[in-house]
């Protein structure tokens, strides 16, 4: 019930392509869904987040798509750049409960 | 942008020894957290701290672990008697409004237990 399942584990995308990372959850009480980006040797940093009252949120090249009925949300990176190469984590929480983290996706953008 | 500062960046210790990991959260933040991560894998929640007390802790955070905010700026994680399996990267984080707001993470302390 408290798990967040993230896929794929790793992803290689050509420069300029679209990177798509998917997450699924079970707990319908979750009401906050952030994505964190982590570079090697650094802590995670919030990239973008969504609440279930909207189906999509866009910030620059990064978009979260949210499907409440399917209990799924995904991160889309448009025009992927080598600087986007990092590990991406989805997470979910409700009512200030601890963040439940996905297992992470290692993204490599090939120049 | 304000930063969460963690010291030391690397800590090597012998099994059974006590270690204290230190963090300086962002000054006007009220919520503090410790997470750990083993070899770039899943981020694991340890504990959250608010209003000078633990607000939530995970199964990992057993009696060997403790947290303290000894003054107005520092937030520490103590492991009383380290085990080999405590070897991990430990991240401190803080936020102004709990886990439903942006968490700011430090760069971590790599703990190696030998």
CA B52 to CA B58: how far, in whole Å? 18
Displacement of CA B109 from its chain's centroid (Å):
9
Q: Please check whether residue A69 touches B, CB under 8 A.
A: no
The minimum CA-CA distance between B71 and chain A, rounded to whole Å, is 24
The string of pLDDT tens digits covering residues B7-66 is 999 999 999 999 999 999 999 999 999 999 998 788 999 999 999 999 999 999 999 999
Give which of B43, B12, B33, B23 is closest to B94, Cα–Cα: B33
Helices (H), chain B: none
Identify the three-state secondary structure at position A83. Answer: helix
Q: Please check whether residue A96 touches B, CB under 8 A.
A: yes
Contact A103, A10 (CB under 8 A): no
The answer to whether the CB atoms of B100 and A41 lie below 8 A apart is: no
DSSP per residue, A50-74: E-TT-SEEEETTEEEEEETTTTEEE
The string of pLDDT tens digits covering residues A50-97 is 999 999 999 999 999 999 999 999 999 999 999 999 999 999 999 878
Q: Using a CB-CB distance cutoff of 8 angstroms, which residues of chain A are in contact with residue B103? A: 36, 44, 46, 99
Place of tokens 């090249």: A61
């Amino acid at each position: 019930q408290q798990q967040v399942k993230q896929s794929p584990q790793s992803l290689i995308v050509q420069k300029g392509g679209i990177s798509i990372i998917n997450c699924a959850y079970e707990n319908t009480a979750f009401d906050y869904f952030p994505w964190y980006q982590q570079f090697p040797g650094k802590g995670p940093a919030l990239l973008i987040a969504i609440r279930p009252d909207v189906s999509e949120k866009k910030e620059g090249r990064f978009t979260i798509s949210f499907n409440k009925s399917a209990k799924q949300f995904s991160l889309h990176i448009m025009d992927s750049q080598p600087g986007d190469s990092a590990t991406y984590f989805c997470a979910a929480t409700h009512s200030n409960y601890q963040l439940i983290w996905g297992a992470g996706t290692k993204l490599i953008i090939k120049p | 942008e304000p930063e969460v500062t963690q010291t030391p960046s690397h800590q090597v210790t012998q099994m059974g020894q006590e270690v204290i990991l230190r963090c300086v959260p962002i000054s006007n933040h009220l919520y503090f957290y410790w997470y750990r991560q083993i070899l770039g894998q899943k981020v694991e929640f340890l504990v959250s701290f608010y209003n000078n007390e633990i607000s939530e802790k995970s199964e990992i955070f057993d009696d060997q672990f403790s947290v303290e905010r000894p003054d107005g700026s520092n937030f520490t994680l103590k492991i009383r008697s380290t085990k080999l399996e405590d070897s991990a990267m430990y991240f401190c984080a803080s936020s102004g409004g709990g886990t439903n707001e942006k968490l700011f993470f430090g760069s971590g302390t790599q703990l190696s237990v030998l």
